[in-house]
Amino acid sequence: MEKVKNITALFSKTCFTGTAIQLVLAALFISVSVQWPAINALLIDPNVDIELRALIPAAIHRYAVSICLGSIAMSLFYFFDSKRNPRMTLKDVCCAIILSFVFYVMLFFQTLQFPVCVDDAYIDFRYVYKWVNGLGFDYNAGERVFGFTSILHLLLLTVVAFVFEKNDIAMVSQTVNTVLQASTYMLLYITTRRLFGSNLMAVFSACIFALNPQNLAHTISGKEAPLMIFLITVSIFAASSQRCGLFAWSGALLALTRPEGLIWFFASIFQHVLVKGKERLSILIAPIMVVAILYLSIFMYFGTIVPHGALGRAAMFSSMLTPYDKASFYILKFVGEDTFTQIIARLLSPDLTMQTAWAVQGCLVFLLLVELARRLSWLRFYASTVILLLLFFSYFNPYMFSWYYAWFALIAPLLVPIIFVALIGQLQSLKRYPSMLIAASIALLCAFNASFANLPPARIVSLNKHGFVTTFWPIISTLRSYPFGWNEGQDRLSMYKRACEYLKKCGTGGGQVATWEPGLVGFVLAKERILDLGGLLSDQALKYYPVPNGERTRLPVQGSIPPRSVLELKPEWCLFFDCLADNGLMSDPQFLSDYEMERFWQGSIMGGKGLFLFHRIDDGGRK
Amino acid sequence: MKAIDLNNPIVSKTLKEIGVYLVAVSIVIFAFSRALNALSDVGKRTTDHTLSTDAVKQELAKLSGSTVALGDYLRVVDLLISHARVSEAQTLLVKRLNHIRTHNPKTAQLEEIVLLRRLARSHVKQMHFEDAQLIYQKAAQLAKTFDIADQQILIGSDLIDLYAQYTKFAPGDLQRKGAEKLFNKELEQLNRLAAAKQPDEKTQRLIHNRHRVGLIEMNRFLELDNFDPEPGANGRI
């Protein structure tokens, strides 16, 4: 009896139980890497190429290391948390198990991926590679174009790549993103635990964040979104815990992470002045100075503070394929879906064919956010800033890129637990009507089930093609698993890589390589001059947009290469998919007379036949 | 009726809150309207701003009279075709064709062939392949009659490009099958002609590129001399 008492007393200690949970779960998750040969057939897309499969052992090694480091971090968390709460109740233990389990699940999905990012991320990686290796500051030597958008993300990657002497910037970026996502997860838990006053609701909030497929996509993309979400969480944490300095600095860092982060920064200054008045204004001086100096430096060097990518993206696209292509619809759709899954949209359109239903659902989430912010002072700052950002994105309504959504990524984790508590309260009022209580409970369970059906990363738009249905949770619903996700977008990148390796092998002769997608091409050919025909990095190409109607592609692609850009700028090499040129360059007699097709790589990308490499022939021979 | 006391802190706070709420609601409604715009824009192409009606009128004004050089005339025609104003371009081409046929029938064979080629190309842009084929054949006949070798070769290369375009039809389509045979036949003829007449480098390159692009259009990758046949080449690293 004494022994049982001792054991119970031991397990009620936060530090001991927390560490014990980590040891058990970490062992369980590491066993996945040991058992990998047996389960990889189930989890990996069968279409993945042999050369890509060769990258899997390294990824599994990284996964095992991340689980070990994660378990140490979680143990440390419980060690420090034991000072706040030395003893755990059974409910606390359950919460700790769920929190830790989902943490490892998140690491599982985020680290078991190919180190291949989205094409845009490689534009940043070229800068980082050049800075780390001392190859110059600009994208192309001598061309002062403000070609990156996230100053802070680039600096962070540069420091990490420099310290660890890594040139595989894509892997560095995915690793940094995983660390940031894991940090956000824990910080969100700590913040919401205090705000909600409930351990269970805080775990619920953190789980909603961790299991959101968009967040996994952010990590794989290699872009700055995880950094943004981390800083937003820091900002909410600082605002709710009255840490004025941290609040001001997180706002400043957000301004350095994205240009529209300036909205957040100004809002945080306004909030500080509103709450504190003239008191402690000195706290703002250093962050304001840092932001001002960095933006002033950018202005002095590039002559603008508007990233060139914004100009390029405003010009290069000519047709919309889905409503999600535009920021306004995308934001409303996914904010709605993250919060209410499909519940309200289905009420309006049972078969979900009416797209307006998604927009209505999103609007209701924003209205609910505003209404809750009136009651909950800690939510006020985040609510008002995201409303301002919604105005910004709706007004400019740019073609959507998933990292813009990072500003709205915390709406669901903050709102859903509040909605859930409110619904439970309503259910309690139905006690006198048992049948109604049963019906309402079933409805709530169905909603819960619907949200689980969407667990990671089933709803990643870009990965859905090769999604694999696993059956380890068949009772609730089919749960899709996407380790080593692979899609057409990444197929496209591997073709570019093959072409660049060919060009490296045969040599460009110092000639300019023109392409519409300068990301991976620019990164692999880091020492070559790149002509970006899309205009993200080149002023020269912008003047050829919009592409005349009669020269735009007939295939389902958002943009086309303007034929005149190649004919007049005369790059020595031209690398493009025919889907971008089928009704322009590919049928232009002058182009076909001035250039010679050097090589072709087959691949049905966006309805086309493959990737073409042309080189210019000057009178008297090859240039 | 009692006036509302705006100095009352409760009243002013409530009004402030209502004001903020209304602003937020307006922004959400604005976002919704933009999302509806996005919905209605799906499938549409953005308006082509590069060629205004006034610009077209200005260009057309330059073409009045019979003294306009062929080069200037074709520049306007090409401009219209590239901006998908194909029917206007065709009207211009037919007008010029009629003019030269009426006024200088013997000296303008070359010009007529060039105009016919442009007319055929405009039909290709509209994916009216049969019309284009008929016009090209007419132009080829003229070039052969007057023994204009360069044009014969160029029309040949235009035709192999045209036959390759038939791949835009469904795989089982009869026209598509026929076009593949015609592609081979025309290519053979073209190669013979090119060997005999030795066109300039640019024309040779045009033929060469169109041949290879044509093979790709028809999925005949293995016939390409620069096709990467390594395993895993098909879209993979």
ipTM rounded to 2 decimals: 0.88
Cross-chain residue pair A498–B48, CB shorter than 8 Å: no
Residue B47 lies in a domain: no
Do the beta carbons of residue A556 and residue A585 sit within 8 Å?
no
pLDDT tens figures, A312-346? 999 999 888 889 899 999 999 999 988 988 888 88
Residue in B48, B201, B209 closest to A548 by CB? B48
Rounded to two decimals, the pTM is: 0.90
Per-residue pLDDT averaged across A180-201, rounded?
Answer: 96
* C-alpha span between A200 and A160 (Å, rounded): 36
- The pLDDT, as a whole number, for residue B3 is 67
If phi > 0 it is left, if psi is from -120 to 50 it is alpha, else beta; for residue B232 that is left
Report the C-alpha dihedral over residues A584, A590, A594, A595, rounded to 10 degrees: 20
Residue B30 lies in a domain: no
Residue A341 lies in a domain: yes
Residue A546 lies in a domain: yes
**Among the ranges given (A60-69, A372-381, B36-45), the one the predictor scored with the smallest mean pLDDT:** B36-45
Residue A563 lies in a domain: yes
Contacts of A363 in chain B (CB under 8 A): 28-29, 31-32
* C-alpha span between A124 and A157 (Å, rounded): 9
Residue B232 lies in a domain: no
Q: How confident is residue A410, by pLDDT bands cut at 50, 70 and 90?
A: very high
Domain shared by A497 and A606, yes or no:
yes
- The pLDDT, as a whole number, for residue A363 is 97
Domain shared by A585 and A618, yes or no:
yes
Q: Please state the φ and ψ torsions of residue A84, each to the nearest 5 degrees.
A: -80, -40
Domain shared by A460 and A583, yes or no:
no
Tokens of B68: 């306009």
Q: Mapping DSSP to helix (H, G, I), strand (E, B) and coil, where does residue A623 land?
A: coil
B222 and chain A in contact, CB less than 8 A: no
- The pLDDT, as a whole number, for residue A27 is 95
Residue B9 lies in a domain: no
Residue A191 lies in a domain: no
Q: Are strands A530-532 and A513-515 parallel, antiparallel or unpaired?
A: parallel
**Among the ranges given (A382-396, A442-456, A501-515, B52-66), the one the predictor scored with the smallest mean pLDDT:** A442-456
Start-to-end C-alpha separation, chain A: 90
- The pLDDT, as a whole number, for residue A33 is 80
Tokens 């057939």 found at: A41
Contacts of A578 in chain B (CB under 8 A): 216
Cross-chain residue pair A323–B42, CB shorter than 8 Å: yes
A607 against A475, higher pLDDT: A607
Residue in B32, B50, B235 closest to A602 by CB? B235
Alpha helices in chain B (DSSP H): 9-41, 53-61, 70-82, 86-103, 109-125, 129-145, 149-165, 174-197, 201-217
Decide if pLDDT at A477 tops 60. Answer: no
Give contacts of B 36-95 with A, CB under 8 A.
Answer: 36-39, 41-46, 48-51, 81-86
Cis geometry, peptide bond prior to residue A546 (ω within 30 degrees of 0)? yes
pLDDT tens figures, B93-125? 888 888 888 876 666 788 889 999 999 999 988
B104 and chain A in contact, CB less than 8 A: no
Residue B63 lies in a domain: yes
Do the beta carbons of residue B234 and residue A491 sit within 8 Å?
no
Contacts of A602 in chain B (CB under 8 A): 216, 221, 227-228, 233-235
* C-alpha span between A419 and A505 (Å, rounded): 59
Domain shared by A572 and A476, yes or no:
no
Residue B21 lies in a domain: no
Do the beta carbons of residue B70 and residue B111 sit within 8 Å?
yes
Q: What percent of chain A has pLDDT over 90?
A: 63
A623 exposed, middle or buried (CB, 10 Å; 0-12, 13-18, 19+)? middle
Residue A8 lies in a domain: no
Q: What percent of chain B has pLDDT over 70?
A: 87
Per-residue pLDDT averaged across B45-56, rounded?
Answer: 64
Mutate to test the interface with B, among A524, A585, A587 (most CBs of B within 10 A): A587
* C-alpha span between A404 and A458 (Å, rounded): 20
Mutate to test the interface with B, among A263, A329, A404 (most CBs of B within 10 A): A329
How many CB atoms lie under 10 A from the CB of residue B105? 10
Check which CATH number belongs to the domain holding B84 and give it: 1.25.40.10
Tokens 């859905």 found at: A464
Q: Which domain does A554 fall in, by range?
A: 488-622
* C-alpha span between A376 and A419 (Å, rounded): 13
Q: How confident is residue A458, by pLDDT bands cut at 50, 70 and 90?
A: very low
Q: How confident is residue B180, by pLDDT bands cut at 50, 70 and 90?
A: confident
* C-alpha span between A25 and B85 (Å, rounded): 67
Do the beta carbons of residue A225 and residue A407 sit within 8 Å?
no
Decide if pLDDT at B234 tops 60. Answer: no
Q: How many structural domains is chain A composed of?
A: 2
Which chain B residue lies closest to A400 (C-alpha atoms)? B38
Per-residue pLDDT averaged across A196-218, rounded?
Answer: 90
Cross-chain residue pair A592–B205, CB shorter than 8 Å: yes
B10 and chain A in contact, CB less than 8 A: no
Which chain A residue lies closest to B232 (C-alpha atoms)? A49
* C-alpha span between A405 and A338 (Å, rounded): 12
Cross-chain residue pair A548–B82, CB shorter than 8 Å: yes
Q: Whole-number mean pLDDT of chain A?
A: 88
Min Cα separation B66/chain A (Å): 27
Min Cα separation B102/chain A (Å): 30
Tokens of A497: 């890589």
Q: How confident is residue A260, by pLDDT bands cut at 50, 70 and 90?
A: very high
How many CB atoms lie under 10 A from the CB of residue B234? 17
Decide if pLDDT at B76 tops 60. Answer: yes
Q: How confident is residue B13, by pLDDT bands cut at 50, 70 and 90?
A: confident
Q: Which domain does B87 fall in, by range?
A: 53-222
* C-alpha span between A472 and B177 (Å, rounded): 50
Do the beta carbons of residue B77 and residue A393 sit within 8 Å?
no
Domain shared by A360 and A331, yes or no:
yes
- The C-alpha angle A338, A341, A345, rounded to 5 degrees, equals 120
Which chain B residue lies closest to A594 (C-alpha atoms)? B202
- The pLDDT, as a whole number, for residue A381 is 94
A622 against A371, higher pLDDT: A371
| Structure letter (DSSP) for residue A317 | B
- The pLDDT, as a whole number, for residue A481 is 47
- The pLDDT, as a whole number, for residue A281 is 83
Residue A370 lies in a domain: yes
Residue in A319, A546, A598 closest to B49 by CB? A546
Q: How many structural domains is chain B composed of?
A: 1
Min Cα separation B49/chain A (Å): 7
**Which is nearest to A223 in space by CA: A259, A257, A253?**
A257
pLDDT tens figures, A528-577? 999 999 999 988 999 999 898 888 988 888 899 999 999 999 999 999 99
Mutate to test the interface with B, among A325, A564, A601, A617 (most CBs of B within 10 A): A601
Per-residue pLDDT averaged across B74-101, rounded?
Answer: 86
How many CB atoms lie under 10 A from the CB of residue B108? 18
* C-alpha span between A441 and A434 (Å, rounded): 10
